C-alpha cells in the first residue's frame, strides 16, 4: 500500500514515523518532506499547495491514500480535488476546513449551536471596531482576531485602548494579514489553563485523542514572541476525566453535529483549542488538522494502527475501531535556530543526533536539510526531541537528556517545557 503525506514539518515527520510502524508495511512518500522524513519516506519535490502536482503524482504512482496535514491545502480544497479524481484522501473537505480558515464562520457556528466560547462581534471597518472598543464596558486585554489564516499570528491581545485601536487599524485598514484581516473578530478575554484536545471524526463518531499542552512563546517563563510552538507534552494534568466528559458533551459532539446540521460532513482531525475557564471549558479556536508540535507528543502514545484509523474516518466506520493509548506520558522539546521567530541563519551542521537516539529519544525533524551527508538547520524550528516516560517528569527528563546531546551554532530551546 502506498501512502503520500503532504507537508514538511515536525508534525509530518511524526505522522510518517507512526505510519512506518504499521504492520501493513506501507510504502511512504512525503511532499515535500524534509531531511529527517527522508529517512522513512521518499520525499518528492512537490509543494504542499500544489494541488495539481499532488493529483498528478498520486495518479502516476497509484497512491492508495493521501494524508493532507497542513492548514493551507485543506483550506484550498485539496481533499475535495483528490476525491473528485478518485484518490482516497484523509482530511476535511474545503467547507469543513472553514472551522479553521474563517474565525467568522467558526464563531457563528458556535453561537448558533450554543457551543461555549468567548462572546464576540465581527467588524469590517475600523471606525465601527474602534467605537466598539471604546464602549465603557470593554475590558483589557482586548482580543482581536483576523478572520482568515495568518500563519498562527492573527491574534493580538492589546493591553490598552490605544494599542487596541492601533491593532484594529493595522488589520482592517493596512491589510496587516492581507485578505485574512479584511474582517476581524473582537471577543471577550478568557482566563484559565489552555489545553489542546485533538479528535478523529468521520462526521458521526468522535474519538478524542489524549490531551496535550503546548508552549507558544519563544523563551522560558512564557516570555518573548509567539512562535509556532516551542514544545508540548501529553497528558495535561488539568484535563481530568470529569472535564473530558463535559467537553465531549458540550463541545466535541455538538461541534460535529452542528457541522452536519449545516450540511457539512467533517472527516479528519479536529483540533480543539480549549480554555478551562472558571465557568467551564470554552473553545479558544478550532483547527482543521493535527497540531504542531502537539502531534509529536500524541502519536508516540497511540497503540492502534494509524492506517486503520485513517481508513475508518474516510469510510465513515470510526465507530468500529478501538483507538487505544499508552498510559505513559510524552514530552517534546523543540530545538530552534537562534533568532527564531525573527530572522536566523541556516546551514549550520547539527551534531549529536545519534547520541540523542541512544538516550532513547525520538528526534522529529521540522527544518533540516542534508548537505554532504550531514544534517544542517534549515528552518526556524529545527528538531522536536521526544520521549515517553512513566510519568511527565520522566518523559521530560529523558527528552532533555536527548536535547543535551544535540547542538549547532546559535541553537535555542526552552528549558521549562512541561512546567506549567
Binding mask 90-129 for ligand AMP (x = CB under 6 A): ----------------------------x-----------
Nearest CB to ligand AMP, comparing residues 36 and 293: 293
Residue whose CB is less far from ligand GLY, 150 or 323: 150
Of 87 and 118, which has the nearer Cβ to ligand AMP? Answer: 118
Restricting to residues 177-216, name those near ligand AMP by CB under 6 A: 187-190, 194
- In this structure, the strands spanning 217-219 and 223-226 are antiparallel
Interaction between residue 292 and ligand GLY (CB under 6 A): yes
| Count of C-beta atoms within a 10 Å radius of residue 401 | 16
In the bound complex, what is the minimum distance in angstroms from residue 327's beta carbon to ligand AMP? 28
Indicate the residue among 71 and 187 with the shorter CB distance to ligand AMP.
Answer: 187
Please name the helix (run of DSSP H) or strand (run of DSSP E) that holds residue 3, with its range, or none: strand 2-7
Between CA 89 and CA 95, with CA 90 as vertex, the angle to 5 degrees is 90
- Using CB under 6 A as the binding rule, whether residue 187 contacts ligand GLY is answered as no
In 3D space, the residue among 409, 98, 92 whose CA is nearest the CA of residue 266 turns out to be 92
Q: How many residues bind ligand GLY (CB under 6 A)?
A: 7
Binding mask 242-281 for ligand AMP (x = CB under 6 A): -------------------------------x--------
- Which one of residues 294, 366, 398, 414 is an interface residue with ligand GLY (CB under 6 A)? 294
Distance CA 180, CA 177 (A): 5
Name the residue whose CB lies closest to ligand AMP.
285
For residue 196 the three cell numbers come to 489542546
When asked if residue 143 is in the footprint of ligand AMP (CB under 6 A), the reply is yes
Q: List C-alpha distances in Å: 372 to 44, 222, 356, 375, 390.
A: 19, 37, 21, 8, 39
Neighbours of 265 (CB within 10 A): 16
The Cβ of residue 152 has, within 10 Å, a number of other Cβ atoms equal to 16
- In the bound complex, what is the minimum distance in angstroms from residue 340's beta carbon to ligand AMP? 18
The rounded Cα 294 to chain-centroid distance in angstroms is 7
Return the one option of ligand GLY, ligand AMP, none that residue 287 interacts with (CB less than 5 to 8 A, by type).
ligand GLY
CA dihedral 249, 283, 182, 289 (to 10 degrees): -80
Least distance to ligand GLY from the beta carbon of 40, Å? 22
Q: Which residues between 201 and 240 bind ligand GLY (CB under 6 A)?
A: 214, 229
Our CA angle for 291, 29, 207, nearest 5°, is: 35
Residue 302 near residue 325, CB atoms below 8 Å: yes
Q: Footprint of ligand GLY on this chain (CB under 6 A)?
A: 152, 214, 229, 287, 291-292, 294
Amino acid at each position: 500500500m502506498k501512502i503520500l503525506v503532504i507537508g514538511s514539518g515536525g508534525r509530518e515527520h511524526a505522522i510518517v514515523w507512526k505510519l512506518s510502524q504499521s504492520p501493513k508495511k506501507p510504502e511512504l512518500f512525503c511532499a515535500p518532506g524534509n531531511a529527517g522524513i527522508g529517512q522513512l519516506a521518499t520525499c518528492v519535490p512537490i509543494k504542499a499547495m500544489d494541488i495539481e502536482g499532488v493529483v498528478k503524482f498520486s495518479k502516476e504512482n497509484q497512491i492508495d491514500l493521501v494524508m493532507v496535514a497542513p492548514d493551507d491545502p485543506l483550506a484550498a480544497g485539496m481533499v475535495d480535488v483528490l476525491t473528485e479524481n478518485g484518490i482516497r484522501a484523509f482530511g476535511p473537505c474545503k467547507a469543513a476546513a472553514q472551522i479553521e480558515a474563517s474565525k467568522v464562520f467558526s464563531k457563528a457556528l458556535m453561537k448558533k449551536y450554543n457551543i461555549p466560547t468567548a462572546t464576540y462581534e465581527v467588524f469590517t471597518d475600523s471606525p465601527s471596531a474602534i467605537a466598539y472598543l471604546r464602549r465603557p464596558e470593554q475590558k483589557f486585554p482586548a482580543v482581536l482576531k483576523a478572520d482568515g489564516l495568518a500563519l498562527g499570528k492573527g491574534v493580538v491581545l492589546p493591553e490598552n485602548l490605544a494599542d487596541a485601536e492601533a491593532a484594529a487599524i493595522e488589520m482592517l485598514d493596512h491589510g496587516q494579514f492581507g485578505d485574512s484581516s479584511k474582517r476581524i473578530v473582537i471577543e471577550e478575554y478568557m482566563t484559565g489553563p489552555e489545553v489542546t484536545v485533538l479528535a478523529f471524526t468521520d462526521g458521526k463518531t468522535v474519538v478524542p485523542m489524549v490531551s496535550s499542552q503546548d508552549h507558544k512563546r519563544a523563551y522560558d517563563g512564557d516570555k518573548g514572541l509567539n512562535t509556532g510552538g516551542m514544545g508540548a507534552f501529553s497528558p495535561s494534568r488539568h484535563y481530568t476525566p470529569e472535564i473530558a466528559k463535559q467537553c465531549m458533551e458540550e463541545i466535541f459532539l455538538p461541534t460535529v453535529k452542528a457541522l452536519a446540521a449545516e450540511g457539512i460532513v467533517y472527516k479528519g482531525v479536529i483540533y480543539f483549542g480549549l480554555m478551562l475557564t472558571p465557568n467551564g471549558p470554552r473553545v479558544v479556536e478550532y483547527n482543521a488538522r493535527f497540531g504542531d508540535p502537539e502531534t509529536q507528543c500524541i502519536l508516540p502514545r497511540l497503540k492502534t494502527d494509524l492506517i486503520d484509523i485513517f481508513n475508518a474516518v474516510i469510510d465513515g466506520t470510526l465507530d468500529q475501531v478501538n483507538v487505544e493509548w499508552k498510559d505513559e506520558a510524552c514530552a517534546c522539546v523543540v530545538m530552534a535556530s537562534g533568532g527564531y521567530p525573527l530572522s536566523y541563519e541556516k546551514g549550520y551542521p547539527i551534531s549529536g543526533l545519534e547520541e540523542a537516539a541512544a538516550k532513547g529519544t525520538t528526534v522529529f525533524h521540522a527544518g533540516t536539510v542534508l548537505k554532504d551527508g550531514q544534517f544542517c538547520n534549515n528552518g526556524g524550528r529545527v528538531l522536536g526531541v521526544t520521549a515517553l516516560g512513566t510519568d511527565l517528569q520522566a518523559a521530560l527528563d529523558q527528552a532533555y537528556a536527548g536535547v543535551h546531546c544535540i547542538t549547532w551554532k546559535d541553537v535555542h530551546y526552552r528549558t521549562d517545557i512541561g512546567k506549567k
